[in-house]
Structure 1
Amino acid sequence: MPQLVTVRRRRPDGRPRRLFVPVLPVLVLLSPLLLLVVLGGLIACLVARVRPLGALAGVARLVWALPGTRFELVQGRTDVRIEVR
């Protein structure tokens, strides 16, 4: 499971700004919304006729595969880099 997400954004003056986001405390803070997300996912599975346990297994595999992922977006003056550890 990912432990830390690093977001790096280049300011207009050219200096980089880093933001370190620990995953576990954010999950704890957002846990009241987790019930709504699970309910919405269950409804989406029923509408799309997908097995809920199969969808849950797919989401779990995706989350456990995230560490080591890097996302970079550079376009014009926009420079954003996200790294999951």
Structure 2
Amino acid sequence: MKNVRNEIIIKALGDRVRVLRNNKKLSMEKLAELSGIDYRQLSYIELGQTDPSLSTLHALCSGLEISLAELMDSETLR
């Protein structure tokens, strides 16, 4: 089975989450609370150290009040 983990995309996704969080003037603690995820998990996502599940991405979108499509905008994940 081929390994499909893409470190560049994982890092870009973390950067995207950080930018969106900062644009909404949310601390990491507040976004984690709004999303219902652990603060450390959010930190690992923003640092590009973990490949978040679809459920986690959905929770982050809920906390950021954006759509999954907006989060995964292919123009910003390069």
TM class by shorter-chain length? Answer: 0.3 to 0.5
Q: Which has the higher helix share?
A: 2
Which structure dedicates a bigger proportion of its chain to strand?
1
Structure possessing the higher radius of gyration over alpha carbons = 1
